[in-house]
Amino acid sequence: MYKPDFRQVIADSQKVLDLIAKKDLDEQERRWVVEETVRGFRDHVNPGFLEYRKSVSTDYTAVEWTDSGATFEDVNGREFIDCLGGYGIYNCGHRHPKVLKAVLDQLSRQALHSQELLDPLRAMLARLVAQITWGDLQYSFFTNSGTESIEGAMKLARLHTRRKGIIAAVRAFHGKSMGSLSATSKAVFRKPYLPLLPGVVHVPFGDADIIDKLIKAGRFTGEEIAAVLLEPIQGEGGVIIPPPGYLKEVRRICDENDVLLILDEVQTGMGRTGKMFCYEHYDVVPDILCLGKAFGGGVMPIGAFVSTKEIWQEMTPNPFLHTTTFGGNPIACAAAIAAINVILEENLCERSAELGGYFLQGLTDLARRYNAVCIEARGMGLMLGMEFHSDELGYMVAKGLFEQGVLVAGTLVNAKTIRFEPPLTISREQIDRVLNVLGDVLENISKWRA
Ligand SMILES: Cc1ncc(COP(=O)(O)O)c(C=O)c1O
């Protein structure tokens, strides 16, 4: 039986701590980092990741090490333009100096909160969130991730309405903890865990009429609907933009039937689509807004669910009804406060709209030119996607881009639509470089197919 050798553990952990403290690594250290990383993933994290990464990176050596702005470098100093943006976390760029400073300043004073006294940054961030959101959205509960924001929103909807039903959409992605997974739609993630939460149904995204019918049917059968939960643009589903008038009609139906509208802006929020929140494009305000990802400025994990005074009343008599130890901790709040400041001060929403339009035009031109490979490019702001005729083609494009120093998301399992979600701080020159590389990759694939 294995028995721990704590002296060895002290030595091993010290070696890693020394490595973290180093500015530059020599050849031997770089090799050690790659070997240790691969070994750790193989023996202690999940060997499946090695196969997954290998499918795009062609070898294991792309171990990420340092980042700034719209790029990151692997441990061997190879630079990549980040067009994946950590699936939408780097709206402010990688390690934006102002976000980093706020976190380091806060860290030098206090890292986590006592859990007992009033912690100031949580209050100050909640007020800022109330200032940047539309309508009566006023109260925030801070979480550690997107999925927790959805869990909280679903619980709040049940609490306020005393009903259980949730209508979500086909192709939706809301996270993978049990509650949010119930609203996520993809069978591959859900099937092993069925049955999930009762009362969650999925309807086609873009069809408001069916929502109305289901709400009314639920009232008749007694299985009543508490809330409709939607992403304003479906991200993981493949950058799917709803038809004109859809969200406004859903809002009207919810109002008419006294059902809550929860908008999941975990990915679309914080300037990603060219507005601070995507709902602004549609002139629709949700009853509960969910945030995550870029809310922490690309430096700290933090999410939130935000609602109105009226709905929040349910949480007031016992504020411990829904809690989390780390949610809203001072360093995460410092990062989110800085993120709000940076997004507004640097006009990142406008930048996202402008550069997104330019990028989309470039992608559309390429999609038309290489229409034997691509179906179309679409998106809003810097939330863009390119759809291919097959997973294999999308995978080849992702792999080709990676080989030439551009990171996008796409694996053999799921690459029919590749997403381009770079930091909103990306430069026009970097976008041009991505478009040039993409053009070369598409040209090569077209020749190879001919
Ligand atoms: C729209 C949306 N909601 C929720 C989540 C879940 O967020 P997290 O991975 O932080 O739990 C994601 C993650 O991709 C998402 O895109």
State pLDDT tens for residues 81-94: 999 989 999 999 99
Q: Which CATH superfamily is domain 348-449 in?
A: Aspartate Aminotransferase, domain 1 (3.90.1150.10)
Percent of the chain predicted with pLDDT > 70: 97
Residue 223 has pLDDT above 90, yes or no: yes
Q: How far is the CA of 238 from the centre of ligand 1 (A)?
A: 14
Q: From the CA of 174, how far away is ligand 1's center (Å)?
A: 5
Q: Which of 87, 266, 270 to mutate to test the pocket of ligand 1 (most atoms within 8 A of CB)?
A: 266
Produce one character per residue of 163-202: b if its CB has 16 or more CB atoms within 10 Å, e if not.
bbbbbbbebbbbbeeebbbbbbbeeeebeeeeebeebbbb
> What single-letter DSSP state applies at residue 323?
-
- Per residue in 43-56, pLDDT tens? 999 999 888 766 56
CB 40 within 8 A of CB 63: no
Residue 119 neighbours by CB distance under 10 Å: 17
- pLDDT in the model for residue 414: 72
Question: How distant, in Å, are the alpha carbons of 91, 168, 219, 253, 406 from that of 247?
Answer: 24, 13, 22, 10, 34
Q: Is the pLDDT of residue 411 over 70?
A: no
**285 Cβ partners below 8 Å, 6+ apart?**
133, 134, 135, 136, 137, 251, 279
Total Cβ atoms within 10 A of residue 78: 12
Nearest CA to ligand 1 atom 3: 174
Instruction: Scan for tokens 């250290």, then name that residue.
Output: 29
Domain with CATH 3.90.1150.10 in the chain: 348-449
pLDDT at 59 over 70: no
CA of 187 to the centre of ligand 1 (A): 17
pLDDT above 60: residue 70: yes
Separation of CA 326 and ligand 1 centre (Å): 18
Which residue has the CA at smallest separation from atom 13 of ligand 1? Answer: 175
Token digits for 22?
């180093």
CA quadruple 252, 256, 257, 260: dihedral positive or negative? positive
CB 54 within 8 A of CB 398: no
pLDDT at residue 50, rounded to an integer: 87
Q: Do residues 152 and 305 lie in contact, with contact meaning Cβ atoms separated by under 8 Å? A: yes
pLDDT in the model for residue 90: 98
Mean per-residue pLDDT, 409-423: 84
pLDDT at 269: 98
Contact by Cβ (8 Å): 368, 354 = no
Cα 180 to middle of ligand 1, angstroms:
9
**Distance from residue 267's CA to the centre of ligand 1 (Å):** 7
419 confidence band (pLDDT: 50, 70, 90): very high
Tell me, what's the pLDDT at 270? 98
Which of residues 206 and 410 earns the better pLDDT score? 206
Residue whose entry in the numeric block shows the structure tokens 């943006």:
85
Which among 392, 373, 404, 384 has a CA at the least distance from the CA of 55?
A: 392
Q: What's the 145 CA to ligand 1 centre distance in angstroms?
A: 8
Distance CA 402, CA 54 (A): 11
**Pocket of ligand 1, beta carbon within 6 A:** 87, 145-147, 150, 173-175, 231, 235-236, 264, 266-267, 292
Residues of the chain with CATH 3.40.640.10: 98-345
| Mutation pick for ligand 1 pocket among 173, 229, 231, 300 (CB with most ligand atoms within 8 Å) | 173
Quick one: pLDDT at residue 51? Answer: 80
The rounded mean pLDDT for the chain is: 95
Identify whether the C-beta of residue 150 lies closer than 8 Å to the C-beta of residue 212: no
Across 365-383, average pLDDT:
97
Q: Is the pLDDT of residue 425 over 80?
A: yes
Average pLDDT in the 360-375 region?
A: 97
Query: What are 291's strand-pairing partners?
Result: 304
pLDDT score of 52: 75
Q: Average pLDDT of 292-311?
A: 98
The residues near 144 (Cβ < 8 Å, ≥ 6 apart) are 301, 302, 303, 324, 326, 327, 332
**Local structure of residue 339 (DSSP, 8 states):** H
Average pLDDT, stretch 279-295? Answer: 98
Residue 372 tokens read as 């034997």
Place of tokens 């990464």: 53
Q: What whole-number distance in Å separates Cα of residue 278 and Cα of residue 270?
A: 9
**What spacing in Å lies between the alpha carbon of 252 and ligand 1's midpoint?**
26
Atom of ligand 1 nearest to the CA of 293: 10
Nearest to 131 by CA among 141, 119, 139: 139
Q: How much is the pLDDT for 54?
A: 62
The Cα–Cα gap between 440 and 446 comes to 10
Q: pLDDT value at position 60?
A: 61
> What gap in Å lies between CA 449 and CA 22, rounded to an integer?
47
Model confidence pLDDT, tens digit, residues 132-157? 999 999 999 999 999 999 999 999 99
- Contact between 380 and 281 (Cβ < 8 Å): yes
Q: 449: pLDDT confidence band, cut at 50, 70 and 90?
A: confident
Per-residue pLDDT, 182: 98
Q: Can you give the pLDDT at residue 340?
A: 98
Q: Which CATH number is correct for 98-345, 3.50.50.60, 3.40.640.10, 1.10.3210.10, 3.40.50.300?
A: 3.40.640.10
Question: Of ligand 1's atoms, which has the minimum distance to the CA of residue 235?
Answer: 16
pLDDT (average), residues 366-385:
97
pLDDT at position 410 is 72
What's the angle, vertex CA 67, arms to CA 62 and CA 70, rounded to 5?
Answer: 105
